[in-house]
Amino acid sequence: MADLSSFPITSRWPAKNPDIIQLYSLPTPNGVKISIALEELSLPYEAHRIAFDANEQKSPEFLSLNPNGRIPAIIDPNGPGGKPIGLFESGAILIYLAEKTGKLIPADAARRYETLCWVMFQMGGVGPMFGQFGHFFKFAAEKVANNSYPVERYRDESKRLLGVLETRLEGRQWLMGDEYTIADIATYPWVEGARKFYGGGEVLEYKSFPNVLAWLERGLARPAARKGIEIPRKE
């Protein structure tokens, strides 16, 4: 049985089965990337729900795994060289899982790097811009009631990014063509989140991005996505 006692996070969220991947998360756009990927890869894992309302992501135990205090984070008891490894940042975790299994990433080197370009496009573009849009449009709407600039700025940038996706998806089923990859798993939870959690579908004019909408529905319809998008569930 793997010994995870060197990871202080396991003292607060104990592993029932320390031999399988431990996921610390919440069903947010960044969190579900990892549960969707784990489901898609059929990797056994144990999900621990990190309660934002209790600020658990900023607890010393959580910070010991991710000093940035944000979900998702994982421990893989069977990391490189068979040793346990802790990881944070959803993009890094997705790349790790893809490389560990040789799945959800093309084998061909050039296509592999192209996939990573799209993963980084999500990590540096879609996630942060959509997140800021959601912040000002929904959560801080009252604070910016007298200043339309923040919403306009992130709305326009989010729409621009949707336009980039729209062009990329012209004639392609997935971001990498016929191959479903971590680039898709990194991105469509955010496109869904902006619509579902922020209620931004109209303001962001989703209807004018038909390729994106069709790709989003294809992604959401996958059994692994339907399951992963709700993990970790509330007890």
Ligand X SMILES: N[C@@H](CCC(=O)N[C@@H](CS)C(=O)NCC(=O)O)C(=O)O
Residues that bind ligand X (CB under 6 A): 28-31, 52, 57, 69-72, 89-91, 127
d(CA 177, CA 187): 15
Residue 94: partners with Cβ closer than 8 Å, 6 or more residues away? 33, 34, 37, 104, 119, 182, 185, 186
CB nearer to ligand X: pick between 124 and 163: 124
Shortest Cβ 161–ligand X spacing (Å) = 16
Instruction: Using the minimum distance from each CB to ligand X, give the nearer residue, 18 or 182.
Output: 182
Q: Which residue is nearest to ligand X (CB)?
A: 70
Q: Give the DSSP H/E element, type plus range, for residue 119.
A: helix 109-121
Pick 77 or 127: Cβ nearer ligand X: 127
Q: Distance between CA 97 and CA 43 in Å, rounded?
A: 9
Minimum CB distance to ligand X smaller for 18 or for 216: 216
Q: Rounded to an integer, what is the distance from CA 89 to the centroid of its chain?
A: 9
CB atoms within 10 A of CB 37: 25
Sign for the CA dihedral angle at 165, 167, 172, 173 comes to positive
Closer to ligand X at the Cβ: 157 or 211? 157
Query: What count of residues does the chain have?
Result: 235
